[in-house]
Chains A and B, each alone.
Chain A
C-alpha cells in the first residue's frame, strides 16, 4: 500500500524569505501523480501544485515550485518570497496512475506560519 510521510509537523518562515516543506512517499508503481494542497484557517482545501511522475521537469506555479526526486521518492515544496497569506497547513498527496479510482492518499500535514 502506498504511504505518504510529512516529517515536519510545524515550520515557520519570515515574510519574503524562502521555505521548503518535505514529503516522501512509498509506492511500487511507476506511473502516479503527486499534489500539494493548502488548507488555510478557513478549512478550504486549495490545490497548490501538481506533478505527473512521468514528467522529469519539476512543476512550478508562480512562487511555488517542487523538487521531484523519483528515485528517492521525494516531493518537496518550495515557497519563495513567502507572504502572510501563505500561513496554512500544507498537505502532500499521492494518486495512483493505474486503475480508475482517483483516490488520494494524504500525508499528515505541515503547519506553516509566515511571520511579519
Chain B
C-alpha cells in the first residue's frame, strides 16, 4: 500500500495563477482532510470530506475549493493564488471519524 500520496511535492506560483493539489489514498478510508502548515504554527484545517460526496469548511477555507472526486481522491484548488497562501499543505485520511489520521508527505507551495 502506498498510503496517502500527494502531488506535486513542490510548486512555485505567481500571484493570480491557479493550481490543483492532488491527494489520493489506497486504504479505503472514508474521511479525508486538507491542512496547511505555516512557520511557527500547527496544522490548520482548510476543508474536509467526512464521506464520499460531502465536503465541509474547516478553520481557514477562504481562497480554496475542494472536490471529493471519489472515495480515493480529494483535491484542493487555488483559483487565484496569493502570497498569503505560501505554506506546506498536508492531506490526511482516516477510516472512521474516531480513528487516527494518516498523513501524506506534504506539498510545499510558494506564491511569489
Contacts and interface: CB of A to CB of B under 8 A. Distances in A.
B50 to A, nearest CB: 6
The SS class assigned to the A binding surface is loop
A104 B90 CA distance: 13
Interface string B92-112: 101011111101011010000
A86 B91 CA distance: 24
Nearest to B45: A103
Interface size class of B (residues with CB under 8 A): 20 to 34
Contacts of A42: 105
Nearest to B106: A43
A100 interface: yes
Interface of A: 4, 6, 9, 33, 35, 42-45, 47, 50, 91, 93, 95, 97, 99-109
